[in-house]
């Protein structure tokens, strides 16, 4: 089962009572809550946008029913700066249900793939019954506001790796600002997910 939410503006920087980074409603958090309300016990949110999903982390940080994992630029150098460090592991009932994998500027697929594998293994260990995927194509090498070096073909590899979880997946579109390549990058990602 695979669904794609083509959302604009993105949402992962929005918290319960604040907005930021062009985000007003946290679409991924709303999707996760909907899945829980529908009877699931454990849901994972995987954020692969260039920027850390600080709003999503904040919403679920003290909860144990949603596992949040994020691959993103190092907050020492990029927005949102004050969130997304590796030592942020969750609190209270959510202790251990938060995984941040900050990566340096210039990261290409060779550096990205091992971090993705770490996140996917953690999601499996959590026992998630469904995955909400905050997908940002601003990890693309030509993105005007970001500094990773993923190529169009890498998105197919990313999608295929995530598909191996074998979970129902709701993809929520986040960032992606290289307009000329955005459609092709999203297509490759979704084709990888769909097999």
Rounded Cα distance, 5 and 134, in Å: 10
Q: Which helix (H) or strand (E) holds 71?
A: strand 66-73
Candidates 131, 151, 128, 125; CA nearest to 139 is 151
Where are the extended beta strands (E) located within 6-145? 43-47, 66-73, 98-103, 130-135
Q: Yes or no: say if 132 and 31 are a contact pair by the CB < 8 Å rule.
A: yes
- Among candidate residues 13, 51, 52, 72, the one labeled active-site is 13
Please enumerate in sequence order all residues whose Cβ is within 8 A of that of 125, keeping only pairs 6 or more positions apart, or say none. none
- 72 a catalytic residue: no
Cα-to-chain-centroid distance, residue 147: 17
In Å, what is the CA distance from 74 to each residue of 41, 78, 96, 159, 165?
A: 31, 6, 20, 23, 26
Tell me the catalytic residues: 13
């Amino acid at each position: 089962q695979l669904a794609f939410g083509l959302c604009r503006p993105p949402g992962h920087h929005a918290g319960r009572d604040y907005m930021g980074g062009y985000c007003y409603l946290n679409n991924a958090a709303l999707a996760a809550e909907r899945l829980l309300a529908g009877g699931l016990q454990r849901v994972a949110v995987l954020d692969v946008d260039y920027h850390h999903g600080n709003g999503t982390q904040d919403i679920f940080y003290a909860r144990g029913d949603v596992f949040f994992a994020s691959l993103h630029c190092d907050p020492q150098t990029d927005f949102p700066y004050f969130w997304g460090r590796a030592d942020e592991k969750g609190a209270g009932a959510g202790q251990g249900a938060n995984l941040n994998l900050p990566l340096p500027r210039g990261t290409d697929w060779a550096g990205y793939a091992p971090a993705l594998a770490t996140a996917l293994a953690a999601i499996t260990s959590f026992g998630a019954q469904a995955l909400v995927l905050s997908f940002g194509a601003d990890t693309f090498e030509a993105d005007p506001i970001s500094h990773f070096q993923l190529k169009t073909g890498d998105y197919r590899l990313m999608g295929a790796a995530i598909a191996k979880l074998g979970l129902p997946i709701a993809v929520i579109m986040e960032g992606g600002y290289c307009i000329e390549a955005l459609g092709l990058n999203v297509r490759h990602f979704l084709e990888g997910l769909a097999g």
